A and B are shown apart, each in its own frame.
Chain A
Amino acid sequence: EVQLLESGGTLVQPGGSLRLSCAASGFAFSNYAMTWVRQAPGKGLECLSMVGVNGAATPYVDSVKGRFTISRDNSKSALYLQMNSLRVEDTAIYYCAKGTMVSGRHFFDYWGPGTLVTVSS
């Protein structure tokens, strides 16, 4: 059974940093792209970036470009999101999701339950 479990969400002050983790199990982690998607309270979904099997990241959404970095450790079946220079508007539930490739494109077939990041003074 595929399982994804995010951790690391907490209350942080504006300007601070945080690293989120996503522990994966139940599938061959190293063979799949992974992504981080966030959802601000009462709002829609925003895909931040995706990391391929070789660790290369896709372009980041403008709202986090230059501040967030996605990475993975295949030896630990783990996905990470390093978040720097956090802003109040980064407050959201952060989901990790597994990418499945069909015809060279990826959609997201399994999601973790999410971890809440609150940026506030």
Chain B
Amino acid sequence: DIQMAQSPATLSASEGDRVTITCRASQSISSWLAWYQQKPGKAPKLLIYKASSLESGVPSRFSGSGSGTEFTLTISSLQPDDFATYYCQQYNSYPYTFGQGTKLEI
């Protein structure tokens, strides 16, 4: 199975900050990577697919980049609604696997 490693595990930031979360795959997954946001007690929400494609309705302050084994999710200017946990997921090969999550907190 492909292992996904996210860093950092926890990120402390303030409103207006620019933040970056990194996701590394144990082998190349081309651009088959998605990013999800999850708030407490809620289901995950798709933000980015195919490494850099923004899901419809997601604010443009979210962006994704990378290919192969290294990927990043960037939030250009943090808003109060962005404090949540973020997961990357590879969908290059089965079983699809997630990173362990990055908790973004104030």
A-B complex is real = yes
Partner of A108, one of B46, B53, B92: B46
Min CB distance A19 to B, Å, is 21
Determine the distance from Cα of A116 to Cα of B84 in the docked complex, in whole angstroms: 21
Within 8 A of A (CB), among B49-76: 49-50, 53, 55
Please tell me the number of chain B residues within 8 Å of chain A, measured between CB atoms.
26
CB atoms of B89 and A107 under 8 A apart: yes
Dominant SS among interface residues on chain A? strand
CB-CB < 8 A to B53: which residues of A? Answer: 102
Number of residue pairs A-B, CB distance < 8 angstroms: 64
- In contact, A60 and B95 (Cβ under 8 angstroms): yes
Chain A residues engaging chain B, CB cutoff 8 angstroms? 35, 37, 44-50, 58-62, 95, 100, 102-103, 105-114
What's the nearest-Cβ distance from chain B to residue A96, in Å?
10
Partner of A44, one of B43, B49, B94, B100: B100
**Considering the chains assembled together, what is the distance between the CA atoms of A103 and B30 in angstroms?**
12
CB of B87 within 8 Å of the partner chain: yes
Would B89 and A102 count as touching, CB distance under 8 A? no
Give 27 pairs: A residue, B residue, CB < 8 Å, sorted on A. Answer: A44-B87, A45-B36, A45-B44, A45-B98, A47-B95, A47-B96, A47-B98, A48-B95, A49-B95, A59-B94, A61-B1, A61-B95, A95-B43, A100-B49, A102-B53, A105-B92, A106-B91, A107-B34, A107-B91, A108-B46, A109-B46, A109-B55, A111-B43, A111-B45, A112-B43, A113-B42, A113-B43
